[in-house]
Structure 1
Amino acid sequence: MGTGEGTTQQAPQADAGELEQRLAQVTSELADLRARVDNAQRLAVMGDYDWHIETDTNTWSDQLFRIYGYEPGTIQASYEVFMQHVHPEDRDKVRAVHQHAYATGEPYEMVERIVRPDGEVRHLASNGQVVTDEHGNPIRFRGTCIDITERVRAEQRHEQVAVRLASAEQARRQAGELNDNVVQGLTAALYAAELGDLRRAKAYVEETLAHASRILDDLVLAGGDSDLQRDVAARIGRSPDA
């Protein structure tokens, strides 16, 4: 009888020990999982958030703090703090997107700009969805933000290069036209001079220079290749800044 009572007393202690061991294992696994998620987000330059509407508490992942220019956990995240960092020109759009999602329960996607504490502007691609209670009332916003700043800057550089190439091509076509007109005009002037008609020769020269001047003005207004402008200007005896 005494042996049975001892076994009964030891069973809860054994169960408690196994539970603590299992809890420690789960905690370790969760920490490892979170570390892997954080590493993946760091590589993808992506963060996630979970905003509890009623309490206005906003849980940010470590990488989202970094995207906003902070070390993880150094500020208390909230919707107000988030909106303070949204670029002033994008705030109305962001509010409208969130209000629509709140009213309809539909998921949302958008691109917005944020301003970091040091003044740097970053471009984010955000998406999220509303979580509702059993009555369909919105209680949380969950979503992710991807920092696409480098992609946006690369696209802007590409557009700038394309514009400059188009401008340079136009300038070179105009330069070719200018060269043809100058050659033809001066040839005609030389021919008139050889015939002794100096007045007509002078008129050809003046007309040729006037036409060349107009084309050079177009090159300057179009922001053409500066080296090309100087070369053309030198050929007609005019300063490109005149």
Structure 2
Amino acid sequence: MLERNMPVRVLLIDDDEDDYVITRELLATSRWGVFNLEWLSSYEPGLEAMLANQHDIYLLDYNLRGRNGLDLIRNARESGCSGPMIVLTGINNRDIDIEAMQSGAVDFLVKGELDSGMLERSIRYALQRNQAEESLRKTASGLAKAQMIAHVGNWEWNIRSNDMSWSDEIYRIFGLYPQAFEASYEAFLRIVHPDDRALVNRKVNEALYDRQGYSFEHRLIIPSGGERMVHQQGEVTYDDNGTPLRMMGTVQDITERRNSEDALRLMEEKYSKAFHSSPDWVVMTRIADGRYVEVNDAFLQITGYSREEVIGRTSIDLGIWVDPRERVRMLKLLDERGKVRNLDVTFRIKSGATRFMVWSAEVIEFNGEAYLIAVARDVTEQRKLENDLVASKAELLRKHEELSRIFAQVETVKKEWEMTMDHVGDMVILADRDGKIKRCNRAFQQFVGLGYTEILGTDWVELLHQYDLITGMIYLQSIELYHEPTSRWFVLNPYPFDDPDFPDLSGTVITIHDATELKQISAQLEQAIRELEAR
């Protein structure tokens, strides 16, 4: 048990370093005690540290980089972490609060509302509650033996002389030193709780004069200020005339038993609420015959059965197991390990539909009889989404492969076309609607002496003028150009194009043909004609 002056070992599992700094500052200002804070930022190291059970309390962020802090609590609890756990979250959500409590957390704190006093109080209550629950668990485990050990004292009252004697155990029960003062009925009444004195007097008188049974319970206020519960039992002896002579009895201190019963009742109420409010189906069956003795509301909602249709019957009677081999496998694991965890099974509900479930079970003993407690989570929708995702990935892969094949074909055609154009002697230019060059062949690159990337995006008319291709005569759509540096003639032909189905696909194809030889032959022919005419 932690004392107030002992350092409290705290583990914070949070993926935000700012939250760590804030938590450290809040704990540093605590007036209750000293806190040794350790910080881990991710799920797996956090789980490993929790399973080491080397901390007094654990603070866990609800969202750990996409991982759920409540899953971490459940995994840690299932794997043996016994320390109290508090969930920290930035969202004030009642559903998350309830889910956190069901997963095993002892408190749910909203970061934006947190201050030093609230955090300290939550940690203190969590530690005290954990200590109390640990004490209750120890009491419950030894309750069978504890009930056999009765703290009983005896007393005797001489009614005629009004003399009374108590055993030493009576003094101890009353919180007095043995033989510290003379025992008397009046001294006894002073110890009885004021609200119970009338009850004690009535029971005594009924036993003495009405010959009724003397067996009842009442409270005591011991001198130290504490309160105890005792059970009184006794009998009266009478003379021949029916006058009471003596009264003898016992006093049993049942304070611990009553406290244990109250605590157990509270625990039973707590676990009963958890049993019936769980979103997973929870069932309890008898090992001897496999019959259902209890099922929760989630089981009835998922399966569609009523409680009357289930209690007293078996899973085989209801035909719940779609594949009997899964039941055999579950029983085999249960026999080998004593428990089953997260077993994938398929169940058939009342409507005949099948549901995919994750099944966990464990054998417990209750009132000397073995029972199977089973919890099943419905993952039907999750499995459907997973299957849909697999199918979508397969379809996406198929389309990707088809597109890759088409792109490869397009790339091949493109390469073939570029190779064709590169082997054409004429210069070829492809320009967009604004006159910017989009493509050109190798002949044009060699003429201007520029690289392909340098040419792309330039204005084709300006580029021709820049390289001294001067416009000459125009024949229809053809343009005759003279290149003075080389004394060569070229014929330029523009071919505008426009596709109504593809508005962005418009522009001009320009071809430039070297006509120098033709020009020279034409000039020679004209000279010959003139000479013939002159003759």
CA deviation string 1:23-66 (max 9, x = no partner):
xxxxxxxxxxxxxxxxxxxx631111111223322100111111
Correspondence for 1:148: 254
Paired residue secondary structure (1:114): strand
Aligned partner letter, 2:156: D
C-alpha separation in 1, matches of 2:183 and 2:214: 21
Aligned partner letter, 1:81: A
Correspondence for 2:239: 133
Paired residue secondary structure (1:136): coil
Structure 2: which 5+ residue stretches go unaligned? Answer: 1-148, 280-297, 299-535
Whether 1:78 aligns to 2:184 is yes
Shift in Å, 1:67: 0.8
What is the correspondence of 1:52-91 to structure 2 with a 5 Å cutoff?
Answer: 52-91=158-197
1:133·1:139 contact (CA, 8 Å) conserved in 2? yes
Shift in Å, 1:137: 0.5
Correspondence for 2:145: none
Whether 1:96 aligns to 2:202 is yes
C-alpha separation in 2, matches of 1:46 and 1:98: 19
C-alpha separation in 2, matches of 1:165 and 1:105: 44
1:45·1:147 contact (CA, 8 Å) conserved in 2? yes
Identical-residue share of aligned pairs (%): 33
Correspondence for 2:228: 122
1:68·1:116 contact (CA, 8 Å) conserved in 2? yes
What is the correspondence of 1:35-54 to structure 2 with a 5 Å cutoff?
Answer: 44-54=150-160
CA deviation string 1:174-213 (max 9, x = no partner):
xxx9xxxxxxxxxxxxxxxxxxxxxxxxxxxxxxxxxxxx
C-alpha separation in 1, matches of 2:150 and 2:234: 17
Q: Which has the higher strand share?
A: 2
Aligned partner letter, 1:133: D
C-alpha separation in 1, matches of 2:226 and 2:277: 36
Shift in Å, 1:138: 0.8
CA deviation string 1:82-140 (max 9, x = no partner):
11111122222111111111112344111111111111111111111112223220122
Paired residue secondary structure (2:160): coil
Aligned partner letter, 2:271: L
CA deviation string 1:144-199 (max 9, x = no partner):
111111111110111111222234456544xxx9xxxxxxxxxxxxxxxxxxxxxx
1:106·1:129 contact (CA, 8 Å) conserved in 2? no
C-alpha separation in 1, matches of 2:154 and 2:184: 13
Q: Which has the higher helix share?
A: 1
C-alpha separation in 1, matches of 2:156 and 2:166: 7
Q: TM-score, normalised by structure 2?
A: 0.24
Whether 1:112 aligns to 2:218 is yes
Tell me which of the two structures has the higher relative contact order, counting C-alpha pairs closer than 8 angstroms and 6 or more residues apart.
Answer: 1
1:105·1:138 contact (CA, 8 Å) conserved in 2? no
Aligned partner letter, 1:47: G
Correspondence for 1:217: none
Paired residue secondary structure (2:157): strand
TM superposition outliers: structure 1 runs of 4+ over 3 Å:
166-173
C-alpha separation in 2, matches of 1:98 and 1:55: 17
C-alpha separation in 2, matches of 1:106 and 1:60: 23
Aligned partner letter, 1:85: I
Paired residue secondary structure (1:44): coil
C-alpha separation in 1, matches of 2:266 and 2:278: 18
C-alpha separation in 2, matches of 1:164 and 1:107: 37
Aligned partner letter, 2:189: M
Q: Which has the larger radius of gyration?
A: 2
Shift in Å, 1:141: 1.2
C-alpha separation in 1, matches of 2:193 and 2:269: 27
C-alpha separation in 2, matches of 1:136 and 1:128: 17
| Residues matched between the structures, number | 134
CA RMSD between the two structures: 2.3
